């Protein structure tokens, strides 16, 4: 069972004594190659096994038409995971990339190419970053129904910093191309 930490408590690193605040983070998962559902479930399991990460919510699974992908791309399965964490955003990004690699994610020069697993950091607390390797909030999340709808299912009052409430963003982009997959459910072990 995943324990949710008290958001008002600051965690102290036992070796260094460094105080690290607990931040809410939103991660988007997607897969359109191979065993799509197994990849999403594996990502949830790997996040749950990550030290200093507590899963607080897992969205329903949606099947979505590819967006801005090559013409031969197959439909994606997508979900959103909410976590509380004391990890720095850069360490959380490193973990996301390691999870992708564990599921044989191949990186291509072609933008938005098909993938076995995609783990995107959408927001990490109120952290902002415009670094080449870490952009927060995620620059295209506000335009992506496959991120906004599953996130809305978990937190209808959530906001993307500098973009606004996800309910308004979802209303503006619509949810065409999304199909709720009631037959698929991600589990917390």
**What is the structure's pLDDT at 73?**
80
Angle (CA) 72-109-174 rounded to 5° is 55
For range 92-116, the mean pLDDT? 82
**Other beta carbons less than 10 A from residue 158's beta carbon:** 19
Q: Among 127, 129, 122, which Cα is nearest to 79's? A: 122
Instruction: With a cut of 70, say whether residue 112 has pLDDT above it.
Output: no
Token pair in block for residue 139: 């620059």
Instruction: Locate the domains of the chain by residue range.
Output: 11-180
Measure CA 110 to chain center.
22
| Contact partners, residue 130, CB within 8 Å, separation at least 6 | none
CATH topology of domain 11-180: Alpha-Beta Plaits (3.30.70)
**What is the structure's pLDDT at 3?**
45
**What is the structure's pLDDT at 140?**
92
Single pTM value for the model = 0.87
Instruction: With a cut of 70, say whether residue 189 has pLDDT above it.
Output: yes
| Cα gap 123→155, rounded to integer Å | 13
Per residue in 126-152, pLDDT (tens digit) is: 889 888 889 999 999 999 999 999 999
């Amino acid at each position: 069972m995943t324990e949710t930490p008290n958001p008002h408590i600051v965690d102290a690193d036992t070796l260094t004594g460094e105080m690290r605040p607990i931040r809410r983070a939103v991660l988007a998962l997607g897969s359109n190659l191979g065993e799509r559902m197994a990849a999403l479930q594996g990502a949830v399991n790997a996040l749950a096994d990550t030290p200093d990460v507590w899963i607080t919510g897992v969205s329903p699974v949606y099947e979505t038409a590819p967006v801005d992908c090559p013409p031969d791309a197959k439909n994606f399965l997508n979900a959103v995971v909410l976590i509380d964490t004391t990890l720095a955003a850069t360490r959380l990004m490193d973990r996301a990339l390691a999870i992708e690699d564990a599921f044989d994610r191949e990186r291509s020069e072609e933008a938005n190419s098909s993938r076995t697993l995609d783990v995107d950091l959408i927001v990490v607390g109120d952290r902002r970053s415009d670094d080449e390797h870490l952009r927060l909030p995620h620059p295209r999340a506000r335009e992506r129904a496959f991120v906004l709808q599953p996130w809305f299912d978990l937190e209808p009052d959530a906001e993307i910093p500098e973009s606004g409430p996800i309910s308004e963003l979802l209303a503006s982009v619509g949810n065409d191309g999304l199909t709720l997959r009631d037959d698929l459910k991600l589990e917390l072990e």
